[in-house]
Structure 1
Amino acid sequence: MTDAELDAYFRRIGYSGGGAPTLETLQDLHRRHAESIPFENLNPLLGRPVRLDFASLQEKLVREGRGGYCYEQNLLFQHVLKSLGYRVTGLSAGVVWNRPPEEMTPRTHVLLQVDLEDGPWLADVGFGGQTLTGPIRLEADVEQETPHEPYRLVRCDESDEFELQAEIRGTWRPLYRFDLRPQRLVDYEVGNWYVSTHPSSGFVIGLMASRAPTGCRYTLFNNSLAVHPLGGESERRTLGTAVELREALTDVLGITLPNGPGMNPLLERIAAADPPPR
């Protein structure tokens, strides 16, 4: 990244600190990224490509005020961290969130290993409504605080995999499983093509958007908007019109919506559907 590109990213997330590759810088960038750049899957829903080259990531997530999903979010974050001098390795995971424990899932989630002087850390700014808002140490069986919920890593039985879990309302919930094999961009391109185009992919079927500002999380699934305050009861509201959906996406989630003839019909279709089950 050039200095101008890095400065544009810093403005996007409201960062004005130093650029030394320290834990403190990583924590601040991680939190501000999750607060400022929303998770969203509008491109797959609109039949538009999801490109992973740096120029496309910078244009969409930084200059256009859009968001993206894990491939876009974490690959952009990887470019930023490497530009600052961090040692970063891309990894992949199979998502087990809200799935039966015995179900086999493909490795279609991107996460990052960041090696600091005191050892490796896990960074992930792209897991949607339950994304990390701060890095955690890559160490098993230790409860670790973040700006939002506590997280922990556990070793999977008889394997070299870790499982990331979050404590949600007093219960530890599994999110995804991964190992430490480095991934190449070509590996990500294959997974990205699958999740953004396959007719059974959740990213093609339904609208998903989220953001994690200080003190709460906002999540939108189709026409159901939820506000999850930390330590409080969640509030949910069904958005019954395209106008309400547009306002939620722009004013609550912070997304600058893409131009084009397909946007209004998409919002009208989603608003008219039955709300998803809770």
Structure 2
Amino acid sequence: MPEKVNLNAYFERIGFSGSIAPTLGTLEALHALHPAAIPFENLDPLMGRKVKLDQASLEQKMLVKGRGGYCLEHNTLLMNVLRDLDYPVRAHAARILWEQPEGGATMISHMVLLVEISGSNYLCDVGMSSFTLTAPLKLRDGVEQKVGNDTFRLLRDDALWRLEVRVGEDWRGVYQFDLVEQGPAEIEAINSLVETEYQSRALLYAARIDGEVRSTLSGNRLSIYRPGEPRERRHAPDVETLKAILSEVFRITLPSAEDLDPALARVIEAAPPVEPEA
């Protein structure tokens, strides 16, 4: 039995007030608004909390408490909303290529969606941290597709699809996925692996898209990209500064200090030393 979806709460959280007909236009509007309103963040596993993917838990965390989530939370929430709006949606497992050695990550740690509209499939992904899409991409081999200031393409290699983004004159891999649909049990298995990875390595990530501005946090290193300007870089030397960044830059309603502060202290401790500027 499908889980009950509170569409009104979701629409209010992301600021959507348009047509809910299952068209490409509606999908594009939702896909743009979702990552602008709900940040990527992985505070729960850092604090040793279980990441729950049932709809009630997702809504309580991301719609009521002002929190964000990581890829499986974001895309599960969007998937449930789209299905409630009568879109045909399938979940697929992905392997991260971005900033990984040749061949990509060894662990499948990401989830993407394929949405069918008028006989065509569209890749949707509102939870890819620094390269979260702000629009669906048509599943077409080798075609360049502009999204904001970024240009993407999808390449097919037998059963695998590879998402790439153009960086300068080069194409760099973001992730690869196949067309095998993943059910709830498979998604939970991926979630368990990702949750354990974040817990064991004290990895903190946050990302937010605000218009053309992309902000990302890796550990205690903040990077803010504004088109046409040098990238702004900052680091948080202590827990209070890191909390201020999470609250002010990423607009996350923070959990209690009792739970959060020890987790962020681990992040600070695990961070590499800051190199002095030349």
Length-normalised TM-score, structure 2: 0.92
- Determine if contact 1:133/1:148 at 8 Å carries over to the other structure: no
Distance 1:124 1:22 in 2: 17
- Determine if contact 2:44/2:50 at 8 Å carries over to the other structure: yes
Q: How do 1:96-135 and structure 2 match up within 5 A?
A: 96-103=97-104, 105-135=106-136
Q: 1 or 2, which has the higher strand percentage?
A: 2
Q: Deviations over 1:205-239 (max 9, x none)?
A: 21100011101100011111110113432110111
1:29/1:260 CA distance change after superposition, 3 Å: same
CA drift of 1:275 comes to 4.6
3-state SS, counterpart of residue 192 of structure 1? helix
CA drift of 1:150 comes to 1.3
Q: How do 1:131-146 and structure 2 match up within 5 A?
A: 131-146=132-147
CA drift of 1:276 comes to 6.7
CA drift of 1:266 comes to 2.5
Partner of 1:186: 185
Q: Which moved more, 1:187-196 or 1:202-211?
A: 202-211
CA drift of 1:80 comes to 0.7
1:209/1:276 CA distance change after superposition, 3 Å: farther
- What code does the residue aligned with 1:166 have? V
2:252 maps to 1:251: no
- Determine if contact 1:129/1:219 at 8 Å carries over to the other structure: yes
2:51 maps to 1:50: yes
- Determine if contact 1:31/1:147 at 8 Å carries over to the other structure: no
Number of aligned pairs? 273
CA drift of 1:178 comes to 0.7
- Determine if contact 2:72/2:111 at 8 Å carries over to the other structure: yes
Distance 1:273 1:180 in 2: 37
- What code does the residue aligned with 2:247 have? T
3-state SS, counterpart of residue 132 of structure 1? coil
- What code does the residue aligned with 2:188 have? E
Structure 2 unmatched ranges of 5 or more: none
1:75/1:203 CA distance change after superposition, 3 Å: farther
Q: Percent identity?
A: 40
Distance 1:73 1:52 in 2: 9
3-state SS, counterpart of residue 256 of structure 1? coil
Q: How do 1:65-104 and structure 2 match up within 5 A?
A: 65-103=66-104
207, 215, 233: which one aligns with 1:210: 207
Length-normalised TM-score, structure 1: 0.92
- Determine if contact 2:96/2:105 at 8 Å carries over to the other structure: no
Q: Which moved more, 1:97-106 or 1:43-52?
A: 97-106
- What code does the residue aligned with 1:262 have? D
- Taking only aligned residues, the RMSD between alpha carbons, in angstroms, comes to 2.0
2:198 maps to 1:163: no
